[in-house]
Amino acid sequence: MTISRADCAALDEQDPLRDFRDEFVLPEGVVYLVGNSLGAPPKGAAARVARTVEREWGHDLVGGWNAAGWWEQPLRAGDRIAPLIGAGPGEVVAGNTTSIAIFQTVAAAVRLRPGRRVIVADLTDFPTDGYIVQNLAEVFGHEVRDIGDIGNIGNIGDTGALEALDQDVAVVLLSEVNYRTGARLDVGRVTAAAHAAGALMVWDLCHSAGAYQVDVSAADFAVGCTYKYLNGGPGAPAFLYVNPRHHGSARNVLSGWYAHAEPFAFEPGFRPADGVRRFGVSTPHVLSFAGLDAALDIWDRVDLAAVRAKSVALTSLFIELVESSGAPGLRLATPRDPAERGSQVSFHHADGYPVMRALIDRGVHGDFRAPDILRFGFAPLYLRYVDVFDAAATFAEVLHRGLWDAPRYRSRLTVT
């Protein structure tokens, strides 16, 4: 059975999420498959940010801290992110960056497991996670144990490594969805394996939050960014989840005045705030929070089950169209079973970099990750089935006709 563009247009007609596309700014002539790196801007972002600059800051000046509620942004945004990750109110605080949140949560976890000296991580995962724990371990006198490339096909269902965790392990840090392959770990199974070994579990949700309904309720801590599927803007605040069972005991090594029980008492001695507020750090980045606010105005209305259903449909369609085209040189890097992937499809190609540049030149925007990965992210809120059809057709044409094999695509620039 061949899928036609008309079939895809019919699917778009029936898509329960179709109206959300109108709420995003998308450049003409581009199929934007990089929403897993930086989400497209909500149309409301410009006005929301302008309001903060012109009315809140411009009119209220320092009074904006109260009048516009700037001080409460980290907890207010946290409460809006919470339902997207299976958390409750008062369990998530937003701010700073994912790397900083990893530092805070892993440091808190090792302090809750005194005597255990090992931090388990996948060092082939997005590097900042590994860098943060390597530097933290060096200072704290801990050891980082590399669990291996758990996000690779073949390893994805294998929790054997986790079952072998021993009594030295204080904490396990893993990404739910792998940034290269899109492979998705089973949060429930992995968390249970960590707990069975007496360790705590920290999840990095950068590539899962906003892609489907995450459930961190069994985990101890979680972190993630808001600028990928959540569309909060470049460098938007990260988020940090603490399971309520740790609210009384977990300590935040990065406790600035936001984390104090009474920040405006200006007391000389530190006393931690109750609840997740103690994992705040200091003054929020107000303009960046304004961008995130605009995105959460959309997410407040989204049915995550519909997002997941469409994500599975889009990614499955892309795989099927690309593979059935017989385009040469490709090997799927993403698990074929939808249950084992996020909202991303990656292919290996020996000349991945020039291939991606040729695609971008033709309006299909994905990205490249060394050594040979072509990544395509599928944001269900603004992508159509016809976009997937067009992207796959262009991809097939570029490969069949060898259009990527030109000097202008082979010259290497910085890739972000």
CB-nearer residue toward its own copies: 247 or 369: 369
Helix (H, G, I), strand (E, B) or coil at 241: strand
Tell me, yes or no, if 375 is annotated catalytic.
yes
Quick one: residue 231, left, alpha or beta (phi over 0 = left, psi -120 to 50 = alpha)? left
Tell whether residue 135 is a contact of its own copies (CB under 8 A). yes
310 part of the active site:
no
Interaction between residue 50 and its own copies (CB under 8 A): yes
* Nearest distance from C-beta of residue 109 to its own copies, angstroms: 13
First to last CA, the chain: 38
Q: Which residue has the tokens 């540049």?
A: 357
Residues between 294 and 353 with contacts to its own copies, criterion CB under 8 A: none
CB closer to its own copies out of 227 and 389:
227
Q: Which of 132, 223, 358, 383 binds its own copies (CB under 8 A)?
A: 132
Which listed residue (10, 305, 406, 415) binds its own copies by CB under 8 A? 415
Kindly identify the residues of this chain, within the stretch 12-41, that bind its own copies according to CB under 8 A: 25, 27, 32, 34, 37-38, 40-41
390 is catalytic: no
342 or 377, CB closer to its own copies? 377
Sole window of 112-120, 256-264, 310-318, 388-396 interacting with its own copies (rule: CB under 8 A): 256-264
- Per-residue x/- mask for its own copies, residues 77 to 96, rule CB under 8 A? -------------------x
Which regions of 147-218 does DSSP assign to beta strands (E)?
Answer: 169-175, 200-204
Site for its own copies (CB under 8 A): how many residues?
A: 92
Stretch that binds its own copies, among 86-94, 101-109, 307-315, 332-340 (CB under 8 A): 101-109
Phi, psi at 305, each rounded to 5°: -65, -40
Beta carbons within 8 Å of 411's beta carbon, 6+ residues apart: none
Q: Going by DSSP bridges, is the β-strand pair 143-146/118-121 parallel, antiparallel, or unpaired?
A: parallel
Query: Torsions phi, psi of 362, nearest 5?
Result: -105, 20
What's the rounded Cα separation, in Å, for the pair 392 and 362?
Answer: 12
User: How many whole angstroms separate alpha carbon 297 and alpha carbon 294?
Assistant: 5
- Range 54-76 burial, b when 16+ CB lie within 10 A, else e: eebbeeeeeebbeebebbebbbb
Could you say whether residue 259 binds its own copies (CB under 8 A)? Answer: yes
Do the Cβ atoms of 346 and 356 come closer than 8 Å?
A: no
User: Judged by CB under 8 A, which stretch of 9-17, 84-92, 162-170, 249-257 contacts its own copies?
Assistant: 249-257
Is 347 part of the annotated catalytic residue set?
no
Dist CA 95 CA 115 (whole Å): 31
Q: Should residue 160 be labelled a site residue for its own copies when binding is judged by CB under 8 A? A: no
Is residue 175 within the footprint of its own copies (CB under 8 A)? no
For the annotated catalytic residues, the residue numbers are 126, 204, 227-228, 375
